[in-house]
Structure 1
Amino acid sequence: MKLCEEMDAEGLHKFISDNRKNLSFIREEVPVALRSAVNPFILVLDSLKGFYAGEILGSNGKKDGNLLGLRRTCLMLMESLEQLLADSLSDEQILTSDIKEKAKVIAKEWKPKLDHLDIEASSGNSLESHAFLQLLATFDIASEFDQDEICTLIPAVTRRRQTVDLCRSLGLSHKMPGLINVLLDSGREIEAINLAYAFKLTEQFAPVPLLKSYLKEEGQKRCHKSKLEACLLTEINERELSALKAVIKCIEEHKLEEQYPVDPLQKRILQLEKAKADKRRAAEAAKPQSKRPRATGSVYTPRITSMPDKSFYRAPPERFAYPYDRQYVYAAEAHHPTLMGSAPYTISPPHTTYYGNGYQVQYQTAYLH
């Protein structure tokens, strides 16, 4: 609360980031804390400065966790601020035209970054689109932008729980039939049905026929499965499995069991999961078994028959078949000065300068004192 009283946007970001494990508690406390700010709207606007400070996806293909966390915090602060609009605020805390102008500047900076958004790739869960739409709703500047352009961003956020309230805040309720048709044309029947229920459009968009049509389309993709590559067939099976689970969840959420029994769908899920498990076991069984280690704990390695340049090795690397064939090599002696009065220990040279395996003996020169 002190951070809000001091209008410390950076400190507020750090506090939320450090306490992200208690996010549910933070969500409850932030609206209360914002009320203690001199002007909560200015505080939240200040917190948005680093939203596009970099790219979420790095050159290594990994997401920047810190930037992702910052953007989520920005979104949460805007959502919390919108809750205050329903309550009475002091004259100093109201949303003034000057604050709206500042919010509009930020929105105009963010909008071009969404122009090339891949709606399909976002899977209805785009954080950046949600933040832009929330900015328009929280600071009441939606009228400054073309409504049809705003509508094009809704399919990018339809899987987010705040979508329905966001659409109402942006004054898009009358646009819902068109948006639902867009979702249906994209094969996103589940999201379309959820919106139809939220905006009381189920007579126009009957849920059960849409759900059956959705599963039928997924099933048709398997009709030529014998001609498909194994990897593609696996992907189709996964998609059908996900579709079945999504349909069952939709049926249960909207209490459609009498119109659309789930037992046949659950049986189909069991079939697909069994086939998936069988395939995984078969793949594991087909893997080559690792060689059994010897009793000594070492793993057998084949005898090396071709030798690289012998000058590379200090000692002969040839592996002998029997212990008595091995050439025993002594460790090099440490060269220390001999003790006074004692004779140096010497070894007379052998009769030949070659080992039995053909490598010439190389004697080290005497250590000079």
Structure 2
Amino acid sequence: MAASEFSTGCYSSELIPPHIRATLRQLHCHSSLIASSARHYQEIEAHLDSAAATMDERRRELELKEKELEIARTAVERRSLELDAREEAFELVQKKEIANMRKHMEAEKESVERNLRELEEKEEELEMLGSYIEERGIVVREKELAVEAKEKEIERISIDLKSREGELEKNLGELRAKGEGFIEETESGIHDHNNPRSLRKSFEEQPKELEISRKEMETVATSLSNTISELQAKEKQLIKVRNLIAQYTVECELKEKQLCMADRVLQDKERDLGSVQQVLEERREELVGKEKILGYLRNCLAEQSNELDLRRNEMEKITKLLSVSSSELRSKEREIAEARNSITVCNAEYELKEKQLGMVVEKLQLKEKEMCSVQHRLEECGQELESKQNLLGSLLSILDLLREKVGAKEEELGSLQKSIDEQRNQKEAGTVDGALPCESNPDSPLKETSLPYLIDDEISTAIQQSPDPAKMILDQLKESMSQIDAKKYNQTVVRKCIVTLEQLLGVSGKVSPEMEEAATRLAIAWRGYLSQAAHGTVDVLAFLLFVAAFGVGSHFEAEDTLQLVEEIAHHERAPELCRSIGLAKWIPGLIQRLSEKNMHMEAIRFTLAFKLAEKFPPNLFLLDYLEKTRIFENGNDLLESQCQALNNHLDSLKVISQRVAGFGLDPSFLNQKISNHLQELETGVGRKRSCLIATGLVIQSPLHAGATLSGNILELGSWNQQGQSNKRPKKS
């Protein structure tokens, strides 16, 4: 603007011819048009950059939406398959349950019918037994009546016998009396021998009477013997009848006992029948409950099918939205293509303007030659011209000073860029020789500094000579932690804490329960401070060293401790601390989270430290890291940012090479990948340089970045060749 004002002011004299003045005005208009077109070009370029960024964001969003849609579709399909499998399994279980219930019910029914038939048979047997007992009772009663009749007859016969015995005794008495009388008569007849006729008569009458008596005696004896024999027969019959009665009574008692037992069995059967009926009722209730559950499950299946239909409708809506978004994306791409076409048109117009400007400059040179012919007319304005020239010299000197300042600023920018690249390389490459990355945090009690793990001779000697090093270190840490509220924690305190805890980890010995309790209280307070205040990785490292040294890791949740481990995952001692704290079984989940957070190098370190290479192959992590750092080239990006991106990608390749060498991995699997990336980067660098040369712009930072980029490519190419040469002897 100063030059234009100077030119207009310089040529505004009345001595300048009108056509030259018009040419200058036209030249000034062309320059303003060129400046405005340049500004318009820059605005269009910025707009295209923003449009490209928004398009990238929309594309990423669409990719995420597509992934989410695919995940949702797979989840819905998996859910539908699970529902189908559950329905089939439920139908099979239902059929089996119903079949089992039917079989069980049929078996129960058969058993009940069998029991009923047995009960009916038992009842029939009992009825037959009762009728038999009644018949036998009638027979027994008849026998008893017959026995009673026989007993009465025997009593009558015995009475007759007694009466006959009395008569017989009476007859015997009479016979004795008659015999005595006969004897007396005979004696008297002997004495009375004077009366022979009477004697003769008496003798004749006596045998007759004796014969009659004898006959009577014989009849009585026969009747008596008959009566006795009859009596004996009656007694025998009576004994037989009594024996039969006894047998009948025994049989009746047995039958009564059998009847009682049958009654008991019948009662038991009735109880069993009642229990069976109760079981049947319970089975019916269970069947009703199962039917209710079946209905509930069917309702649930219907609801889930409805939800599935809703999900499908949502998926259809999402697909429609995606189609709409894709159409919008295509329209945006068409707009971008149109914008690029307009940019090409603007570039053509700009080139045309430049050509016109060149022609104007040529005309101006011709006009200057013509001005030489009229120079004598300008002698009058020589003084004014000299003053203007002095002003121009001062402006040029100011411009030179500004250029020198700009050059110095560019040099400072280059050095600052180098330092930033070095810091980024150190950050990506992790800690080298046990160094910690520095993160400034004024609120943290442990300010992070890049401190080497140097062995303090005094601390080491004190720990080795102390009878109870754990107590000594715990007292020292309590004193150090007491400075948290006073904000007196400095770098020396951090170094002493870390070095002291490392020395304590190297000393073998048990921690007493009292010491462990005190350490637990201090660790809980320390963890609470870390949760409340902002902290850095050095604070976390010191805390985890304290937990591992005193063995108080069991007092904290593993998930909380793993979150702290993620913050120091770049540190070389992180796997050892996890092993000391007792987090070995949670390491696979930690590796998975590190991979999801694109912390691939840290994931490789934990994988190799815990020998999980089969589950988490390090090669896949390296390839993923290589793919994540790939450059998404955009022709509309600024040259400086593109060169910086190329340089960053080369730094990533250098980090991979350092990690492969540091982890002791075989670099052969990355040779082809790195070769492809080198070819892409070389073509990218050539394209950027050609763009720089074509534009004719002299920008120090991008060219410096391009030089650094070439150096990085050469260095990485030499490493790749070295890896291939190292691979050949292994094969041989």
TM > 0.5 between the two?
yes
- Aligned-pair CA distance for 1:143: 0.9
Structure-2 separation of matches of 1:21 and 1:206: 33
- Over 3 Å counting, the alpha-carbon distance change for 1:267 and 1:118 in structure 2 is farther
Structure-2 separation of matches of 1:206 and 1:224: 30
1:137 aligns with one of 545, 548, 559: 548
Structure-2 separation of matches of 1:118 and 1:259: 42
Note if contact 2:646-2:681 (Cα within 8 Å) is conserved in structure 1: no
- Over 3 Å counting, the alpha-carbon distance change for 1:238 and 1:42 in structure 2 is farther
SS of aligned partner of 2:670: coil
- Over 3 Å counting, the alpha-carbon distance change for 1:173 and 1:285 in structure 2 is closer
1:115 and 2:500 correspond: no
1:34 and 2:451 correspond: no
Note if contact 1:151-1:179 (Cα within 8 Å) is conserved in structure 2: yes
Post-superposition Cα deviations, 1:181-227, rounded to whole Å, max 9, x if no partner, equal 110111111110111111111111112222112111111xx324444
Structure-1 separation of matches of 2:594 and 2:506: 29
Structure-2 separation of matches of 1:163 and 1:22: 16
1:186 and 2:597 correspond: yes
2:661 aligns with one of 252, 268, 273: 252
Post-superposition Cα deviations, 1:102-142, rounded to whole Å, max 9, x if no partner, equal 211211111123336889xx6xxx11111111111111111
SS of aligned partner of 2:615: coil
Equivalent in the alignment of 1:240: 649
- Aligned-pair CA distance for 1:155: 0.8
Structure-2 separation of matches of 1:236 and 1:267: 14
After superposition, residues 21-60 of structure 1 pair within 5 angstroms as: 24=454, 26-27=455-456, 30-48=459-477, 49-51=479-481, 53=483
Structure-2 separation of matches of 1:245 and 1:180: 23
Note if contact 1:189-1:214 (Cα within 8 Å) is conserved in structure 2: yes
- Aligned-pair CA distance for 1:269: 11
In structure 2, the gaps of 5 or more residues are 1-449, 693-697, 704-732
Post-superposition Cα deviations, 1:50-91, rounded to whole Å, max 9, x if no partner, equal 247359xx9xxxxx9x71231122011011111112xxx5xx
- Over 3 Å counting, the alpha-carbon distance change for 1:117 and 1:208 in structure 2 is farther
Equivalent in the alignment of 1:153: 564
Structure-2 separation of matches of 1:208 and 1:176: 18
SS of aligned partner of 1:252: helix
For 1:82, give the aligned amino acid. L
Structure-2 separation of matches of 1:223 and 1:231: 15
Structure-2 separation of matches of 1:99 and 1:133: 17
Equivalent in the alignment of 2:609: 198
Post-superposition Cα deviations, 1:155-175, rounded to whole Å, max 9, x if no partner, equal 111111211111111111111
- Over 3 Å counting, the alpha-carbon distance change for 1:95 and 1:166 in structure 2 is same
Equivalent in the alignment of 2:519: 103
- Over 3 Å counting, the alpha-carbon distance change for 1:22 and 1:227 in structure 2 is closer
Equivalent in the alignment of 2:336: none
Note if contact 1:244-1:269 (Cα within 8 Å) is conserved in structure 2: no
Structure-2 separation of matches of 1:196 and 1:239: 26
Equivalent in the alignment of 2:215: none
Q: What is the alpha-carbon root mean square deviation over aligned residues?
A: 3.9
Structure-1 separation of matches of 2:670 and 2:491: 40
Equivalent in the alignment of 1:283: 700
For 1:69, give the aligned amino acid. T
Note if contact 1:51-1:74 (Cα within 8 Å) is conserved in structure 2: no
After superposition, residues 64-75 of structure 1 pair within 5 angstroms as: 67-75=490-498
The structure number with the bigger radius of gyration is: 2
For 2:571, give the aligned amino acid. R
Post-superposition Cα deviations, 1:259-287, rounded to whole Å, max 9, x if no partner, equal 22286389579969x89xx99x942799x
SS of aligned partner of 2:520: helix
Equivalent in the alignment of 1:80: 503
After superposition, residues 9-24 of structure 1 pair within 5 angstroms as: 24=454
For 1:255, give the aligned amino acid. L
Equivalent in the alignment of 1:361: none
TM-score normalised by structure 2 residue count: 0.30
Structure-1 separation of matches of 2:576 and 2:624: 28
Overall identity of the aligned pairs, in %: 22
- Aligned-pair CA distance for 1:30: 4.0
Post-superposition Cα deviations, 1:311-330, rounded to whole Å, max 9, x if no partner, equal xxxxxxxxxxxxxxxxxxxx
- Aligned-pair CA distance for 1:38: 3.6
Structure-2 separation of matches of 1:195 and 1:256: 18
1:210 aligns with one of 618, 621, 630: 621
Note if contact 2:640-2:702 (Cα within 8 Å) is conserved in structure 1: no
Equivalent in the alignment of 2:579: 168
In structure 1, the gaps of 5 or more residues are 1-19, 59-63, 287-369
- Over 3 Å counting, the alpha-carbon distance change for 1:114 and 1:228 in structure 2 is farther
Structure-2 separation of matches of 1:231 and 1:216: 22
- Aligned-pair CA distance for 1:153: 1.0
- Over 3 Å counting, the alpha-carbon distance change for 1:192 and 1:33 in structure 2 is same
